[in-house]
Structure formats: C-alpha cells, structure tokens
Amino acid sequence: MNSTPQTEAQKMATETPLLSTESRAEFESFSSDFLQDLQPRDAIEKMYAKDVIEQTWEIIRLRTVHADIIKIEQRAALYGLLRFYLKVLVPKAEKLSKSFFASKTAREQVLRELLRHGLTETVITSAAYRKAAVDLDNVDRRMASLEGRRHKALKRLSNHRKGLGAKAQEISDRLIEGAEAPRLQPSAEDTR
C-alpha cells in the first residue's frame, strides 16, 4: 500500500522530537510539503528524505536560536555601553536599558546619547555579539555539523536515484532561506 506525503508527514511528526515551543501541526505541514515536492518512491528514499527534513527543520530552528541569543544579550549590552562607555549613572542606565526596546522616548534618548559619542544603534548589536560570542560559536558549530549531515543525506539520495539529491537540496535550501520557518509558539491544538 502506497502512502501519501500527508500520511508520511503525519507519521514523521509523531516520531520526530520537537521542542515545546514548536508546532507539531506545522512540522507535519513542513514535512508534507517537502515530501510532496520530492516524491520519494521507496522506503530508502523516504528514510533519506526524513533525515533531510529533520536536519532542515533543525537548521531553521538554530537560525532562530542564533537571533534570539543576540536579542537576549542586547539589553545587557546596552546597559554595559551606557554604564561603562558612556558613563551613565546606574539608576538611569538600568531604566534606559529596560525601556529602550519598548519606549520610543527612551529609545530616542539613548540614540541621542550614542550619537553624541559618535556611535549608532548598531553598537548595541555589536556589543551583544561580543557578549554572546561563545554561545554563538556553539550554535554555528552545530549548524555546520547539521549542514554536513544534510549534505551526506543528499548525496545518499543522489546515489540512490539520479537527480533526487539535487531536487531535495533545492527544496531544503528554499525552506531554509524562505519564509517557511517553524513558529516558535505552539498552536492552540498543540497545547491541548
């Protein structure tokens, strides 16, 4: 009995461990779309496709983690800039670093202070990168490892059926670069 991409994706969604912040339904849709485009013909192709799908999903996840690490460090980086580089007193530096991302007034005040010292808003992100360098390196190494594993799975697909690896890579690359990234909040159905 041949299964459809949808039933294969449903099976894959139940077998693949997801984070509590990820939607099983979205992973199923992601997998189904991938399988629909790829059209694997046999169990071996499905197995390799599953590897590529899971690795693609995790690469997208890690790109989100990378951005989140920087976001997490931005407030602390801003506080450090205000306090130690711009010599803003502790209470004011705390208040400005807490309200910068939510208050237009605080944002404008900080930007004026930065500009007065020849700096722009990008210095906050630069300082956050610097503070998070070790964590970002760990994420980057994990992404490189996943890329290597994905490349091997794509090669195995190509060895199994000519052109299938290239097609899977095209689909995977499109998903990684496109807007079809996993949501970081579970849907209502996932929280039941």
pLDDT at 8: 81
Residue 102: φ, ψ to 5°: -120, -20
Q: Please, which residues have CB within 8 angstroms of residue 26's CB and are 6 or more apart in sequence?
A: 182, 183, 187
Concatenated DSSP letters of 37-101: HH---SHHHHHHHHHHHHHHHHHHHHHHHHHHHHHHHHHHHHHHIIIIIS---HHHHHHHHHHTT
Contacts 24+ apart (CB under 8 A), 142-151: 142/62, 143/59, 143/62, 143/63, 143/66, 146/55, 146/58, 146/59, 146/62, 147/59, 149/51, 149/55, 150/51, 150/52, 150/55, 150/56, 150/59
CA 2 – CA 121 distance, rounded (Å):
56
Residue 118, token pair as written in the block: 């020849």
User: C-alpha distances in angstroms, 52 versus 33, 38, 151, 169?
Assistant: 13, 11, 9, 8
Residuewise pLDDT in 10s, the chain (192 residues): 467 877 888 888 788 889 999 999 999 999 999 999 999 999 999 999 999 999 999 999 999 999 999 999 999 999 999 999 899 999 999 999 999 999 999 999 999 999 999 999 999 999 999 999 999 999 999 999 999 999 999 999 999 999 999 999 999 999 988 844 444 333 344 333
Model confidence, pTM: 0.79
In the chain, what are the domain boundaries?
5-179
